[in-house]
Structure 1
């Protein structure tokens, strides 16, 4: 399975992090009630802008398989759930819920 992490601005759709285009070390953990994303990311202009818009982020995981359609998981991020540790160059996002879907299943025929 190939997995891609996307972190986008919810309103403008601007992509801040796309591990498919720019690989970054990241980890996803769940305690059953929430999901914690930890991303290795240096402080650069893109990170500054992400932090400016931290109240309006969408987080996605795209999981691509050889034998079935791509699964997308959209994570809901509440206010106060985004933090950056400059010393560690580490972004942390906590999502409270998620929605899984397979885009191929939402097609229609006319």
Structure 2
């Protein structure tokens, strides 16, 4: 299985993180009623811009399988916490809710 993490600006659609194009270690774990993403990524202008619109982020996990359709999970950040730890070069995103879906079920 191949898994990809995407972090996008929900309003403008700008892509901030795409683990398929930039190899970044990350983890996602259950965190209370939501989910906690931790991404090891160096500070950059893109991270600065991400933090400037931290209340308008969407996070996606795409799971691609050899023997079944791709499963996409869309995480909503809403009022979740988004922080960058410069000492650890680590971005933390807390998502409040999520929706799992198979895109092929919505194609015409």
User: Rg larger in 1 or in 2?
Assistant: 1
Which TM-score tier does this pair reach, normalised by the shorter chain? over 0.9
Task: Give the equivalent residue in structure 2 for 1:9.
Answer: 9
Task: Give the equivalent residue in structure 2 for 1:94.
Answer: 94
TM-score normalised by L of structure 2: 0.95
Task: Map 1:1-110 onto structure 2 (within 5 A).
Answer: 1-31=1-31, 33-108=33-108
RMSD, aligned α-carbons: 1.1
Contact (CA 8 Å) 2:59, 2:75: kept in 1 or not? yes
Whole-Å separation in 2 of the counterparts to 1:32 and 1:92 = 15
Whole-Å separation in 2 of the counterparts to 1:100 and 1:80 = 19
Moved more, 72-81 or 14-23: 72-81
TM-score normalised by L of structure 1: 0.94
In the alignment of these two chains, the number of paired residues is 108
SS in structure 2 at match of 1:49: helix
SS in structure 2 at match of 1:69: coil
Q: What stretches of structure 2 of length at least 5 have no aligned partner?
A: none
Q: What stretches of structure 1 of length at least 5 have no aligned partner?
A: none
CA deviation after TM superposition for structure 1 residue 31, in Å: 4.0
Report runs of 4+ in structure 1 exceeding 2 Å deviation.
none
